[in-house]
Amino acid sequence: MTMNNSSREQGRNRLIDELTEDLTPVRAFNPRDGVALVAGALALTVSGIAAIAGLRAGLGTTMPSPYFLIANLLLLGVGLAAATAVVAMAGPRVGNRHDAPKWALAMAAVLPLAALASLAGQGHVESDMMHDAAGWRCMAYGTVDGLLAATAMVLWLRRGAPVSPERAGWWTGIAAGGLGSAAYGMHCPVDTLAHLGIFHMLPVLIAGIAGRIAIPPLLRW
């Protein structure tokens, strides 16, 4: 009986050795590293915009307009709230909730609604939007400038195990749109409510939809 027990014990030890033979130690999974990765991507994006397009005149020396501050702080808030949620999604926990980006998005939605209401009151919503060349340019660059942050978040998510790739893709896109548009806002010299409320907020919607479609296939595990 003792020999049988000893044989079974040796068999279990051999099985454990075989299972762990190819395992290698990995660095601890710390959410702060994910936040630092996104922050680094945002800093590089702003630096790139400053080097290529330049920052808006007077930034840092004169007081920006209230619309500039409101729009860019809302975009930054949406981007950071969504990015923090994305970082948390890589390490799922039971009962995890991500309400912060929902509230930030709800607050940011006030600005485009106010811009549309203002234009509607003047009776020329379509003409103002269609002929705002600077606005379409800001929308395009604000969306593209979120790609570096999106890449950082996708790399972080692939290190973890997001329970819902669809939700992770949605919030990754929203975070990238918010951060990219806020970054490009450091260059844009236009401060009108219609311009900031519509064309600087559109990248959040566009990138959110793109993230929901394109990112989940990259996160399957």
Q: How far apart are CA 190 and CA 167, in angstroms?
A: 33
In this prediction the pTM is: 0.83
Residue with the two structure tokens 């959040």: 204
Tell me: the pLDDT tens digits for 19-57?
556 555 555 568 899 999 999 999 999 999 999 999 988
Where along the chain do its domains lie? 30-218
Flag whether pLDDT at 15 surpasses 70: no
Q: How far apart are CA 74 and CA 103, in angstroms?
A: 11
What secondary structure letter does DSSP report for 218? G
In this prediction, residue 30 carries a pLDDT of 82
The tally of CA atoms less than 13 A away on the side-chain side of residue 93 is 9
